[in-house]
Structure 1
Amino acid sequence: MALSEAALFARARRAYERGRLQAALWPAALLVPVVAWSWTWCRYPALAVVCGTALVALTLVFRWRGRVWARGVGPGLAAGLPPLVVPFLMREASQVCVGEICCSLCLIGCVGGGLAAGAILGRRAASIGEGRGAFLAAAGTLALLAGAPACAFAGVAGLAGLLLGFAGGSAPVLLARSPA
């Protein structure tokens, strides 16, 4: 008994989507040890689990979705390294005082890491014509989720610093005109 054209098309589509999902599993699976590692040292382990789970899930979804969303995964994860590593290394450092104003070095690391992530992704997004916003949204979300557990050492101010730094680093791209 021969399959109808519609049934054959549906079968081919399922095989295609299954293959895309399998290809998307590898990058997501590679993040699991990083998430487990961040859970061991994060000041708020629940935050590390939530951010890590979202990071793995969104990596899987973006890679499966394809196009500009998938192109944002690699740069987003790479841009997430500065906000993850810098505050982690500075977490035990003392405060820096200039006159009457004191600030945690970890907080400065969060702002700097966010600024670096925003600048990295902003520069990369500048070379993209169509889909710049989707690329920046996908890559930026992954970078911020990667950096959040380390910035939690500085509390809510650290998370806000990460977000503000990222916004400051990526804003020039969002404000620039699209290439003609």
Structure 2
Amino acid sequence: MTKQRVVSNPHLAGPPVDTVSESTAYWLSNGDLPPELITGHKLIDSEHRFLISAIANLRRICIDHVNFEDCTGCSQDRRERCEIEVVAMLGDVFAFILDHFKTEEMVMRDSLLLMVDRDVCEAHMEDHAAISSAVQKIVSSLDSQHIVSRIRELDALLARWETNHIALHDLILSRWIAREDSLLKDW
């Protein structure tokens, strides 16, 4: 019988979204990953660069995503542009996360980490499912009057992913595959 575990979702709670994380501030100032998020794995690091650039780009969509309560103060044309940009970004982010998660889960299997430490891998994969679910929830709640709210929600989700998921799960995975005896050391 499969043992069920209850896992909290750190992507649905966290610090205020108007706070720029140190990692994001670092990226915004110099265009690269902050040292604490560099895994040393070229593919994973390039995918994390995409994530941080998505956060920066998302913050540029709305003229004031921090202070606007809703989109009613903007012109119809402006609301439509924001909605188009957010929908496109959500599509890009969702496609990215599906591909990124598939890559990481393949690495877990191919590197034998899944066999060696199943609990660590299951927690990592459950976090992937929670992030995917949170993005789907944002997509399903889109409406033209509250695009700014969805921008804040996506911004908060991506920022927490960057700080929580990468630091907690991805660094463990990259250390595992960087071991001297790793099957995927040069992958």
Larger radius of gyration: 1
Which has more helix, going by share of residues?
A: 1
Instruction: State TM-score, norm by structure 1.
Output: 0.34
Instruction: State TM-score, norm by structure 2.
Output: 0.33
